[in-house]
Amino acid sequence: MLALMLALAVGDGFDEVARPFLEAHCIRCHGGATVQGDLDLTGADDRAVARDPEDWEWLLERVELGEMPPAGEAAPDAVARERFTAWLRSQVGAPASQAAPLPDVPLRRLTVAEYTAAARDLFDVSIDARRFLPEDAVGHGFDHVSAAQSLSDLDFRRYLEAAEAVAERALATDEPGPPRVRRYVPEDMTGGAPRGQSYWLFTRGVAGAQASLPRGGEYLVRARVWGQQAGGEPCEVRLTLGSRGRGRVEEAGAARPEDAHTFEARLQVDSGGDHLAGVEFRNDFYRPARDGQRAADRNLAIEWIEVVGPLDRGRSTRLWQQCSEALAGAADPEAGLEALVASLAATTWRVGEVEPGDVRRLLRLSEPRDEPRTRLRAALVGMLVSPRFLFKPEVGVGEADLRGSRRLGGHEVATRLAGFLWNGVPDQGLLDLARSGALDTEAGVLAAAEQMLEDPRADAFVRSFAEQWLQLRALATKRPDRRAFPGFSTRLIRSMVEETVRVLLRSFKEERSLWELVDGAETLVDARLAEHYGLAREDRVESLGDGWYLADLSGTERRGLLGHASVLFATSEPTRSSPVRRGKWVLDVLLGSAPPPPPPGVDGLEQPAAGEEGLSFRERFARHRADPNCAACHARMDPLGFGLEAYTATGALRAPDDPLRLDASGELPDGRTFAGPAELAAVLRTEDRFLEAFVERMSIYGLGRALEREDRAMVARVLEGLDPGRPTMRRVILGVVASDEFQRVRVGAERPELELDDE
């Protein structure tokens, strides 16, 4: 701030601040006969920034990161660098004119997660939409950026199948006759491995099959199991159904298929849809062969699983019960049906009211002679495949302002809020707020956002943002080399990701400083992760009651996100750590300054060239620095990565005598040095760019689009609204919600009409 005041105190400042800096440190490489990087600063004057703002933005970032001037050139002192960057930042900021137009936002489609949440929140249907819908494309790091979305004819067929499944379950009613029996054999199961005629669990966990249930209620779960017994106690099992239904723990002592025992439990689910009917193996045991004893291994075999029900017969889903009552009380059955369809469509399409013509089109999807449930089901399928449900149209209301934008309508704001803060769609309560006019003002929108952040559904937003921002979703399928890391398990990977998500949730819910994500000396671990980290029992300072603990890291090298095994594993190769990938991650994720991909034909520095096989990575890096194609980017990435080499590819701390742990040091282009992860975290703690990068990523997530130059002012306003001593995630979120970029829409943007076909 002092540097900025100095820069602004001398008027325009180009001759007093910029010209001396450029002549002393830049013109030699970017002027005259040696114009590098297509940046010619010869003849730059006080209007140069306005003429080519993108070039000067690039220059600002390079100088701030200490990349320019490069090593070997005359480096400015700290005051000169701060004074120049403060002046340049004031010049390349977003246009001050309030007439600058808002960027256009292409039409956005519901993501798979939002579709799943819509089925749950609107119709009480539990459905894994990933089974039906195409995978969401990723743009600018997130899966709901509009520019990356598409919908092909083939995709539409899959949306139709999903709509039919949701409609059938939302309007389910018990058929006459005995409860249905669903049997699942090893070919239907997941979570373990088939072998012979059985499905096996070789470690603790749950294996089972997805049961498609018509509605919530009570079901009987049966399973026939036996075990490969070892270790002095029999296999312990528990039957499960969905995320909440859990049976009692029982002993499965049979050691042969012919002696297999059938267990059963009556379990409850809250809603219809897809629920995992499973068998949980609770007490795995393994003893390797030693001292003349044979190896001993306890494993569980599943022959089949059955789900019977619902047992509480004579019931219907909540939606069909409401519809039945409304139809029974209608004087005119056809008018009552039209009113029902209109009300259901308004909620499903997130609008205030539906035109009568649209209601008639929906009812023409069935025959007038069909029973009401059949007609409602067909109409609901039509609503769910309509672009009015699948897409998020935004046209705004009222008069346009000087920038050619107008406020989003209440229902449009509700849709944006739900997509941002709940990773879903508006529920009836939020739609009621929109209908009442409570979302027509900035104060009303912020009040609604505050309330939504207290809802448990906000956890889904934090989880989604954390996994995508930190690039952890790849861990769902990533596995280390078993020979290099024996004993590594998928359960440990789940614990890794869960640690990071829980730390972000704790930061959000407790309004902790965002800086703790950089250098915090506390984390959350379960027993498995604590062992992986080498934490003593006394390091677990508080039990959270669900197998997780608050752990004190002050006596270790781990600090903030840089010490999370999830991050360290995600940025490694299957057989070894990767300082290049880790350094690139720090630049991209924490500092928002991703290096460009290597030029065509340039190999990565981690691949040894001929004659370099015996050299260490540092030695190979030193040799490659002579090649400007390599050194320009690797001078930024690799020192950061070297600071994390105290950790293995899986995030465990290396042995004390490991050379890589002893030499986990680096020197940044601006001359700052560090030794080890803790000192690296301390260096990053001084980078103001971290907060700016975080605001930018949250803005991309919240707006569903890439940021443009015009958005710099919004980012600056959000940063100004943070407490310098305690910047929090909540304040960043609310800052984005309060912005015109979130609450307004550009007028005149080309948007497809979302009309229903007559057919």
**How many angstroms separate the CA atoms of 307 and 310, rounded?**
9
Distance, CA of 511 to chain centre: 20
Confidence of residue 759 (pLDDT cuts 50, 70, 90): very low
Give dist(CA 472, CA 454) in Å, integer: 25
Note the pLDDT of residue 9. 39
Statement: residue 115 has pLDDT above 90: yes
Q: Specify the range with the lowest mean pLDDT, choosing from 31-35, 469-473, 692-696.
A: 31-35
DSSP-assigned letter for residue 39: -
Rounded distance, CA 425 to CA 430, Å? 9
More confident residue, 607 or 663: 663
Q: Which two tokens stand for residue 665?
A: 């040091």
Quick check: 82 pLDDT over 80? no
Supply the mean pLDDT for the chain: 85
> Do residues 549 and 458 make contact, with C-beta atoms less than 8 angstroms apart?
no
pLDDT for residue 96? 45
Confidence of residue 629 (pLDDT cuts 50, 70, 90): low
Cβ–Cβ < 8 Å for 302, 224: yes
The tens digit of pLDDT for each residue in 501-560 reads 999 999 999 999 999 999 999 999 998 999 999 998 888 888 888 889 999 999 898 999
As a whole-number percent, the residues of the chain with pLDDT over 70 amount to: 88
Cis status of the peptide bond prior to 579, with omega within 30 of 0: no
The stretch 572-601 carries a mean pLDDT of 82
Checking if the pLDDT of 627 tops 50, the result is yes
First to last CA, the chain: 63
pLDDT for the residue 730: 97
Q: How confident is the model at residue 347 (pLDDT cuts 50, 70, 90)?
A: very high
Express each pLDDT in 671-728 by its tens digit.
788 888 999 999 899 888 899 999 999 999 999 999 988 888 899 999 999 999 999 9
Instruction: Determine the Cα–Cα distance for residues 34 and 32; give it in Å rounded to an integer.
Output: 6
Tens of pLDDT, residues 173-202: 887 788 999 999 999 999 889 998 999 999
Reported confidence tier of residue 566, pLDDT bands at 50, 70, 90: very high
AA identity, residue 319 = L
Sign of the four-CA dihedral 520, 524, 527, 528: negative
Cα separation, 695 vs 736, in Å, equals 8
Collapsing DSSP to helix, strand or coil, 14 comes out as helix
- In sequence order, which residues have a C-beta less than 8 Å from that of residue 577 and are 6 or more positions away? 568, 644, 645, 647, 648, 649, 660
Other Cβ atoms closer than 10 A to 74: 8
Query: Which of 18-32, 126-140, 626-640, 701-715 shows the lowest per-residue confidence on average (mean pLDDT)?
Result: 626-640
Pairing outcome for strands 125-126 and 272-281: parallel
pLDDT in tens, 390-423: 999 888 888 888 777 889 999 999 999 999 999 9
Q: What is the DSSP letter of 293?
A: B
Question: Phi then psi for 541, rounded to 5 degrees?
Answer: -85, -15
Q: For 726-740, give the secondary structure using H, E and C.
A: CCCHHHHHHHHHHCH
Residue 250: which pLDDT band, with cuts at 50, 70 and 90? very high
Distance CA 201, CA 333 (A): 55
Q: Please enumerate in sequence order all residues whose Cβ is within 8 A of that of 148, keeping only pairs 6 or more positions apart, or say none.
A: 137, 138, 139, 140
- Per the listing, tokens 């009309």 go with 755
Long-range contacts of 329-337 (CB under 8 A, 24+ apart): 333/372, 334/368, 337/363, 337/372, 337/375, 337/376
Give the residue-averaged pLDDT of 464-481: 91
**Over 80: is that where the pLDDT of 106 sits?**
no
Which has the higher per-residue pLDDT, 466 or 85?
A: 466
